[in-house]
Amino acid sequence: MVGSIAAIGAGLAVIGAGIGIGQVGGKAMEGIARQPEAASKIQTAMIIAAALIEGAALFGVVVALLGLNG
């Protein structure tokens, strides 16, 4: 039972990250389409933002993984 709830928690965390990274990627692509010469700068900023979002999601996944043992 604990295992399934932990799995649901990990899944919920991933949903959040999916929405977040989707937004970042979509907007970055829009930005690059508008201004192709700024592509490299936008890419770097995008990767930083995606990493920060991913970090938040991974906290969720790790806590879910820890909850699995408890």
Partner 1 sequence: MDCNRVFVSKVKRLTIVFTLLIAFLSIKIDTFAQVDSAVVPVDSVVAESAHAASGEHGAEAGHGKEKFEPTKVIMEHIADSHMWHLWGHTSLPLPVILYTPAGLEVFSSAHFHHGEEDYKGTYNTYRLVEDHVKVIGANGQVDEATSVLDFSITKNVAAMFVAILVILIVFISVAGAYKKRVGKAPKGLQSLIEPIIVFVRDDIAKPNIGHKYNKFMPYLLTVFFFIWFNNLLGLVPIFPGGANVTGNIALTFVMALGTLIIVNINGNKYYWKHILLPDVPFWLWPLMVVVEVIGIISKPFALMVRLFANITAGHIIVLSLISLIFIFETLAIAPVSVAFVLFMDVLELLVAFLQAFIFTLLTALFIGMAVEEHH
Q: Which residues bind partner 1 (CB under 8 A)?
A: 40, 44, 47-48, 51-52, 54-55, 58-59, 61-62
- Minimum CB separation from partner 1 for residue 58, in Å? 4
Q: Which residues, other chains included, contact 69 with Cβ-Cβ below 8 Å and sequence gap of 6+?
A: none
> What are the respective helix, strand and coil percentages of the chain, to the nearest 5?
95, 0, 5
- Minimum CB separation from partner 1 for residue 24, in Å? 14
Residue type, 66: L
- Nearer to partner 1 (CB atom), residue 35 or residue 43: 43
